Amino acid sequence: MRLALFLSFKASLTKWHREGILSREIQIYVRHLERGYCDEVVIFSYDPADHEALALVDCRPDIRARFRLVTPRTKATGNLSGLLHSLNLGLLWKLSRSGVSLSKTNQISGSWPALILRLFGVPLFARCGYLLSRRLFKNRQALRGTVALLIEAVLFNGARLVSVTTESAKAEISRLILWRKGKVFVAPTYVDTELFAPDPDHVPEPGTLVFVGRLEPQKNVRAIAEAVAQTGMALIMVGDGSERPAVEAIIQRTGARVTIIPRMQNMEISALFRQHRLFLLGSLHEGLPKVLIEAMSAGMVAIGSPIPGIVELVEDQRTGYLARSVAAEDLAEAIRRAMADQASHPAISAAARARILARHSLDTYATRENSEMRRAIGL
């Protein structure tokens, strides 16, 4: 099987590396190649420098040689240059005639070149980590949300196969599909459970919270900073984004003990997780957050907001602690409960990792996805 992967609009391996997520995002395709599930993986991206980023992927040389990159001649940074690349019919026609068995979208954003390949006769596999339209509507971007909803309706109806991360997302997407609703399957987000594993020789530090994520409104980072200020706890916040100035203003106003680290590579994040006990994620909305799964796999005790995507993972006082709401006061109350219950942390840590091993290992995900892809194309 020859798989074509279409990255999100204007995304690239170079961007993944810059954001510290290259090894995390590409490892499933490395595994597909290692196991012989795919003969070749073609990556449609937006930066010709991706050949350099591909060289940084930790895999055998023969596996790396089975990745092929389709990129523009110059980096597509703006919307116009990105659209010109993604709508290059000559390039897409040539790709469709090159023996591609199945095209797969990485997200809803940037899915339209895969839809064009579908018109050229290549079966389509729509992966949906989260519903883009729902996120845009929640962020009060009605026009963009409407456009995304139209793309989603066309994408899901045109796809031979659709994967989602939760049962609730499956139900929501199935309502958009007019026929062949059985093509939607649930594939919970995977993580590398060997990389994100507890250190048996180290007792994690319990007095510092860790947050990893984009500093954007969705992640509720202002409330997180306020909650930390109310508890007097220290917080390591790994990430960057448009909300960073607001968070820094809260730190200055309240004296909150927050250290912001703009970015870390995946290996560095796994080491950070092994050093500390408490992980905090107070998002307003999520799909199925991979960083939370990684933290729980590493044996961290998670404190989360009570929203879909988090409640599927965190069971209060069994695999973590849930706040009553996304408000700073309730996040602070959940932090205090976690700190007052330190005797339970080893048991909660073990239960959290056991849940991740059972449901979210890389091997389990690769096997399931391969089975569904082969069924979809009749292999």
Dump pLDDT digits (tens) for 99-109.
999 999 998 88
- Does the structure show a pLDDT above 90 at 205? no
pLDDT average, residue stretch 61-74: 96
Residue 128 above 90 pLDDT? no
Query: Measured between alpha carbons, how far is residue 1 from residues 25, 31, 372, 375 in Å?
Result: 20, 14, 13, 12
State pLDDT tens for residues 221-242: 999 999 999 999 999 999 999 9
What is residue 189's predicted lDDT score, i.e. its pLDDT?
A: 84
Among 30-39, 282-291, 340-349, the least confident range: 282-291
CA distances from 96 to 2, 9, 93, 118, 122 (A): 11, 19, 5, 9, 6
pLDDT level of residue 335 (50, 70, 90 thresholds): very high
pLDDT the model gives residue 41: 98
* SS3 labels along the chain: CEEEEECCCCCCHHHHHHCCCHHHHHHHHHHHHHCCCCCEEEEECCCCCHHHHHCCCCCCHHHHCCEEEECCCCCCCCHHHHHHHHCCHHHHHHHHCCCCCEEEECCCCCCHHHHHHHHCCCCEEEEECCCHHHHHHHCCCHHHHHHHHHHHHHHHHHCCEEEECCHHHHHHHHCCCCCCHHHEEECCCCECCCCCCCCCCCCCEEEEEEEECCCCHHHCHHHHHHHHHHHCCEEEEECCCCCHHHHHHHHHHHCCEEEEECCCCHHHHHHHHHHEEEEEECCCCCCCCHHHHHHHHCCCEEEECCCCCCCCCCCECCCEEECCCCCHHHHHHHHHHHHHCHHHHHHHHHHHHHHHHHHCEHHHHHHHHHHHHHHHHCC
248 pLDDT more than 90: yes
pLDDT in tens, 287-319: 789 999 999 999 999 999 999 889 999 999 999
Task: Output the pTM of the full model.
Answer: 0.76
Which of 16-20, 163-167, 312-316, 320-324 bottoms out in mean pLDDT, i.e. has the lowest? 163-167
Give the pLDDT band (50/70/90) at residue 190.
Answer: confident
Cβ atoms of residues 308 and 166 within 8 Å: yes
pLDDT score, position 140: 78
